[in-house]
Amino acid sequence: MHFTSEQRLDGDVLEREFTLGEVPGILWTPEPASAPEPAPLILICPPPLGLSRIYPRLAARARHYAAEYGFASATIELPGSGDRPRWPAVEQARAELRRVMEAGGPVTGEIVDALVLPLVDRSVPEWRAVLDALLAVPGIGGPVGYEGGIISIGVRLAAVEPRIAAAGLFAGSFVPAAIVEEARRVTIPLHVLLQWDDEAGHRQASLELFDAFGSREKTLHANMGGHTGVPQYEIDAGARFFARHLR
- Which spans of this chain sit near its own copies (rule: CB under 8 A)? 196, 207, 210-211, 215-224, 231, 233, 237, 240, 244
Q: How far apart are CA 81 and CA 247, in angstroms?
A: 33
Residue placing its CB nearer to its own copies in the complex, 77 or 218: 218
Q: C-beta of 106: minimal distance to its own copies in Å?
A: 22
Q: C-beta of 204: minimal distance to its own copies in Å?
A: 10
Query: Taking the CA atoms of the chain, what radius of gyration do you get in angstroms?
Result: 17
Residue placing its CB nearer to its own copies in the complex, 19 or 223: 223
Q: How far apart are CA 127 and CA 74, in angstroms?
A: 10
Write 131-138 long-range contacts (CB < 8 A, 24+): 131/43, 131/161, 131/163, 133/1, 133/18, 133/20, 134/1, 134/27, 134/41, 134/72, 134/74, 135/41, 135/163, 136/1, 137/1, 137/27, 137/29
Q: C-beta of 69: minimal distance to its own copies in Å?
A: 15
Q: C-beta of 156: minimal distance to its own copies in Å?
A: 22
Residue placing its CB nearer to its own copies in the complex, 129 or 237: 237
Q: C-beta of 202: minimal distance to its own copies in Å?
A: 14
Residue placing its CB nearer to its own copies in the complex, 3 or 233: 233
Residue placing its CB nearer to its own copies in the complex, 34 or 223: 223
Q: Go through 153-185 and write b for each residue having 16 or more CB atoms within 10 A of its CB, e for each that does not.
A: bbbbbbbebeebbbbbbbbbbbbbebbbebbee
